[in-house]
Structure formats: C-alpha cells, structure tokens
Amino acid sequence: MRGAVPVSLLQSKKLELADELMFKVKTLQETQALIHDKFGALRVQTEIVPLSQALNRFLASAAVSAEFVPDFDRATVDGFAVHSRDTLGCSESIPALLRKTGESFMGKAPDVSVSAGQCVYISTGAALPAGADAVVMLEHTEALAEDLYAFYKPTPAGANIIRKGEDSAPGQVVIPSGKRLHSADLGTLAAMGLTQISISTQPRVAIISTGDELVTPEAAPGPAQIRDVNGPLLQAMTLEAGGSPRFWGIIPDQAGLLEETMSAALKEADVLLVSGGTSVGTRDQLPEIITRLGDLWVHGIAVKPGKPTIVGAIQGKPVFGLPGNPAAAYFMFRTLVRPLLAALQGGTLPEIQISARLDRAVSSNHGREEFILVSLSPEGLALPLLSKSGLISMISRADGFIVIARDEEGLPAGASVWVTRL
C-alpha cells in the first residue's frame, strides 16, 4: 500500500515510546538547570594552605594587593635612562648626543638623577633614576668618547619601563575568588607577598561501581566478566575537576549491600557517584534505593550516550547514577558532575572549543542530543569517529567531540561545527 509505514519502523517507535515512559526523561538542558537549582547554593568549606600547595585549587577569597608591585619604576631592558624629549628626531644620520652621568644597577637605589642632555646607564630590573621618563635600548646607542654616547632611535616617554604599581596597587583585586589557580597565579601571589592562601576544600566524592560482571582492573576476567573501567575513570575525572575521590569498591547486584554501602559513603562524602544499575531492568535497583533514602529527580536524559542517567539527593547531598557504559559515564560526568564540583568550590571549569568543518556527513535521528567523538586534521577538519558507544578506547583516540542537537537529523559534510577539546 502506497504510504504505508514499515512494520519494523512501527515496532521500533513503539519500543522507543515504551522506553521513554519507563524513564523520567528530561533534556540535558533541563537536567543542568535542575542541578543548578537544587545544588547551586551548596559550597564546601575553606582552608588556608601554603602557596606551594595552592596549584589547581580554587581561590576562596579574592587576592587583594596591600602594596605597590613593583614599588618603584624599573627598566625592562639594558640601556640608558633618558629624558625622552632629548631623543626626539634623532636618527642614524643625525644622532642625539648625551653625556653619561652615572649608573643604576639591580638591588640598589640609584644615587644619580637625569637632567636635560644627560643619560644614566641602567640594567634590566634596576630602578629608574629621578628625572628620567624612558629607557633607550643599548643596541640603539654607540659610545663616541668617554661618557659621550650617540642615540640613533627616538624613544617615547614610558618606553621600556614598568611603572610603580603597574602589576598591582593597594586595594586592587588582582585575582578574583573562585578562580582555579595556575602557575602564573602562584607567581602573582608571590609578587604580592601572599604566601598563605585561602582556598576551597576539595569536594569529597564517593565512587561505587556495581555489577556482578565486574572484576578489578588487575584481575583476569572469567567467563562473561569484564574489568571495571568506571571506577578508575571516575576517580581520575574527579581529580581533574578538583575533587577528592574515594573508591568504595565493586558492589554486586544486591540491593541491600548497595544501600548499605551508599549510606556509609554518604556519611563522609559531599557527592556520591554510582555507576551501573541505572536502567529499568530487574537488577537495576538504584532508582528504588535513592527514592527510599531521598529524592529522585531525573531518571533518563534525552542524550546519547548517557540516557539511563540518574540525578537525585540523599540527605541533601547530590547523588548521580551514571551508566555502566564507560563512554556514557564519561560524557555524563563531564556534562553534569564536573561543573557541579567546580561550583561547589565557587568556580567554573570552562571548556575549550575550536571551530572546524566536518570531514564527512553524520546522521542522527534518535530524537536525543548526541555526542560525536572526532579527531582533528592539520587542515582543520573534524573527522567523526563512528563506533559502538561502549568502546572507551575511542575517547583516548579522539581530540574532541561535537554535539548534534535533538531536533537535527544529522550534519552534512563540510558543516561548520564547534569541537570541544578533550
């Protein structure tokens, strides 16, 4: 019959609808908004640590300068401190002639000054003598006689000088609270004389893997067994996000034991992650446990991979049920848990994105937002890495990922995309 819908397609749609009804499905954006609404005001404690221990930690209070840095005008090159007006119009053919009256070296206050027609030799980092307003680089000068120098290049006021307080001045906020400190920040804090730093404590993240089929990574899997990937994966991702992970082990598919382990973990953790047991099978008991102990807000997200993701709270603490599929667990942690761990510390973890063009067409007709791993060519092309979603090694091979929106059926070859770097 013309216009008839194939039976296989109807069956697929019915299964998809039934699947949706079994979950409390939300969009990824709705889930992110819910996490912000429920947990956005939560903050961890603060602590004081030495500067040497502050790298990659989140600043708990703004770094405010109490002094001028530097505390004097200083030269940035080796050369001569001058009145800039004495060099106006000079050139290779008509040099300015100035007489050297002294020297200024690092670590000593200069005991000379500069008047019209004079210059003072100065080394990089030394204090600018009184009367000077610029420094001429040594290579633009020439000694003609004792203490008489020719200057071949005009130099404007302020050239080759760092002014007093140019790095920071009293009362100036130099580094805002919530920033994750990198190496240059530690240098800045050192320049300000701040050696005891107020930072946010690292969120304590309890991690539980579930499943009768799992064995530890060092074990040799038996028949129908696999090594636990999500335990090490989520521990590493927690560290990268600034959290402090504790792995509570592999729990078999026993509701009583899982509930007991979750309750024990929550006594000391700020966030709980449970991987596996999040779907709607007879052995997937996590939703029931969370509902019994606390609140279950999300069971299913319209995203691929990562649909059977759970978001809830127990004792007011965030609880995430992440899929047993390692690739799905990776993306759901990155999308939902990673921002929360930063927010608990008063900060953010921005993503790095670059523009590229698709090397080939990508289809997507699942009605779900979809993450597609890509590699990047030297020519700026994004090459989709198409594989089955459970292969964690594909993430190791990828340079980044793109996102296909729910209402798109795919993207054509040559389409402009934003690639989030891994």
219 lies in the same domain as 300: yes
| Closest by Cα among 60, 4, 127 to 346 | 60
Task: Express as a percent the part of the chain with pLDDT over 70.
Answer: 91
In angstroms, rounded to a whole number, what is the distance separating the alpha carbons of residues 255 and 286? 8
Q: Tell me the residue range of the domain where 228 lies.
A: 7-44+201-344
For residues 214-231, give the mean pLDDT: 95
183 lies in the same domain as 63: yes
**pLDDT for position 1:** 34
Query: Would you call 313 exposed, middle or buried from its count of C-beta atoms within 10 A (0-12, 13-18, 19+)?
Result: middle
Each residue's pLDDT tens digit, 112-127:
999 999 999 999 999 9
- 147 in a domain, yes or no? yes
Q: Count CB-CB contacts under 10 A for residue 110.
A: 20
Q: Say if residue 5's pLDDT is above 50.
A: no
- 1 in a domain, yes or no? no
Domain's final residue, options 314, 344, 374: 344
**pLDDT for position 280:** 60
187 lies in the same domain as 50: yes
CATH number at residue 125: 2.170.190.11
375 lies in the same domain as 407: yes
| Closest by Cα among 184, 188, 240, 227 to 324 | 227
Each residue's pLDDT tens digit, 143-199:
999 999 999 999 999 999 999 999 999 999 999 999 999 999 999 999 999 999 999
205 lies in the same domain as 321: yes
**pLDDT for position 407:** 87
- 223 in a domain, yes or no? yes
256 lies in the same domain as 238: yes
192 lies in the same domain as 327: no
Q: Say if residue 10's pLDDT is above 70.
A: no
Q: Say if residue 47's pLDDT is above 60.
A: yes
Domain's final residue, options 162, 184, 214: 162
Q: Could you tell me if 98 and 82 are in contact, meaning their C-beta atoms sit under 8 angstroms apart?
A: yes
255 or 367, which is more confident: 255
In angstroms, rounded to a whole number, what is the distance separating the alpha carbons of residues 200 and 54? 10
191 lies in the same domain as 210: no
In angstroms, rounded to a whole number, what is the distance separating the alpha carbons of residues 406 and 384? 18
26 lies in the same domain as 138: no
- Across-strand partners of 357? 381, 416
370 lies in the same domain as 304: no
Q: Say if residue 13's pLDDT is above 70.
A: no
In angstroms, rounded to a whole number, what is the distance separating the alpha carbons of residues 216 and 220? 8
Domain's final residue, options 288, 320, 344: 344
56 or 12, which is more confident: 56
In angstroms, rounded to a whole number, what is the distance separating the alpha carbons of residues 360 and 345? 41
CATH number at residue 177: 3.90.105.10
- 148 in a domain, yes or no? yes
Q: Say if residue 50's pLDDT is above 80.
A: yes
Output the average pLDDT for the chain. Answer: 92
User: Which range has the top average pLDDT, 54-68, 272-286, 386-400?
Assistant: 54-68
114 lies in the same domain as 56: no
Query: Would you call 210 exposed, middle or buried from its count of C-beta atoms within 10 A (0-12, 13-18, 19+)?
Result: buried
- 300 in a domain, yes or no? yes
As for how many domains the chain has, the answer is 4
227 lies in the same domain as 304: yes
Q: Is 275 helix (H, G, I), strand (E, B) or coil?
A: strand
Q: Could you tell me if 315 and 349 are in contact, meaning their C-beta atoms sit under 8 angstroms apart?
A: no
**pLDDT for position 388:** 65
At residue 2 the predicted structure's pLDDT band, cuts being 50, 70 and 90, is: very low
Q: Say if residue 365's pLDDT is above 50.
A: yes
When mean pLDDT is compared across 5-19, 92-106, 267-281, 294-308, the lowest value belongs to 5-19
**pLDDT for position 281:** 57
- 2 in a domain, yes or no? no
Task: Express as a percent the part of the chain with pLDDT over 90.
Answer: 87
